[in-house]
Amino acid sequence: MLTNKYHTMRILITNDDGVNSSGIMAAKRAVEDLGKIDVVAPANQQSGIGHAISLFEPIRVTSTNLVDGTEAYSVSGTPTDSVIIGICEITDSKPDLVISGINIGENLGKSELTTSGTIGAAMEAAAHGVPAIAVSLEVTRGEIVFHDGHVDVDFRHAELILNSVAEKILKKGLPEGVDFINLNIPSHPSSNDIKLTRLGERMYKTHIQKRLDPRGRPYYWIDGDPIENDDHGTDVNILKYERCATITPISLDCTANLDIMNSWLD
């Protein structure tokens, strides 16, 4: 039941793992005491889609029920499409907070900033002037990272951390210059601490697998292994070695140092 303090708050939940993901149910449980919840998410797995938007095909929205019997909206497009539909069509007023996740698998470092659909959805919310959290849970079983549907994962610690961060944003807003936050939670935490971090240098060594279809025509699978080479204080380092949740504040303004560019142009 909502407290009087939060009964007017509106929270939009989305993800990139699909509307039937266990992570979206965990996110809903985490914040159901903080406001009215709307769930609008892709119909199926959209990991790695980044901030993509559907411009050349129609988007279909279907009312569905989550496993707890509550209504949600299944969107045929991307996580960004889901945020746009959620803010502009589903909710009757702009939400006070958008939560993207809980993603199955961490989203750390600079490389994930443009490829993660979880982060892309939070970025879109921020572009609409809505505070947002991209929240991801580290997992140790690689086979469930891109699973579409229910996975057997313990979300209890992640729910506790997400509730704390969401409540703080609803109470205080985000600081000036911060448009959304990237929240990563370890699978085996050492404490309930949350540490402020910067983006790490985690990148990927790309692998391309070339195969032939039954008619002998080539096709390709793109894959990669993370390369982690990080200083203390980065999200990659702290999640891996200190085993506590990390918060990285993100700004939509990606403008580099203009003074340096001026001297370069001279």
Domain CATH for 192: 3.40.1210.10
Residue 24 lies in a domain: yes
Nearest partner of 132 among 165, 89, 93, judged by Cα: 165
Contact between 54 and 77 under an 8 Å Cβ cutoff? The reply is yes
Q: Is 226 exposed, middle or buried (0-12, 13-18, 19+ CB in 10 A)?
A: middle
Residue 142 lies in a domain: yes
Contact between 98 and 131 under an 8 Å Cβ cutoff? The reply is yes
Give CA–CA dist 253/37, Å, rounded: 29
Residue 42 lies in a domain: yes
- The predicted-structure confidence for 225-265, as pLDDT tens digits, reads as follows 776 667 788 999 999 899 999 999 999 999 988 989 998 99
Name, in order, each residue with C-beta under 8 angstroms of 185's C-beta and a sequence gap of 6 or more: 102, 135, 136, 137, 138, 157, 158, 161, 162, 245
% of the chain surpassing 90 pLDDT: 74
Structure tokens at 47: 């990991």
| 16, 25, 48 from 222: Cα distances, Å | 19, 30, 11
Contact between 14 and 128 under an 8 Å Cβ cutoff? The reply is no
Domain count, the chain: 1
Residue 207 lies in a domain: no
Return the DSSP state at 127: H
- The predicted-structure confidence for 23-77, as pLDDT tens digits, reads as follows 999 999 999 999 999 999 999 999 889 999 999 999 999 999 999 999 999 999 9
Contact between 145 and 104 under an 8 Å Cβ cutoff? The reply is yes
Residue 124 lies in a domain: yes
Domain extent at residue 23: 10-198+231-262
pLDDT at 248: 97
Residue 134 in this model has a pLDDT that exceeds 70? yes
pLDDT at 223: 79
Could you give the maximum distance between any two Cα atoms of the chain, in Å?
A: 65
Count of residues in the chain: 266
pLDDT at 139: 86
- Coil, helix or strand at residue 249: strand
Structure tokens at 236: 């990659």
Residue 219 lies in a domain: no
Structure tokens at 141: 């079983």
Structure tokens at 119: 């982060």
Residue 205 lies in a domain: no
Structure tokens at 155: 């979300």
Structure tokens at 253: 């303004």
Residue 104 lies in a domain: yes
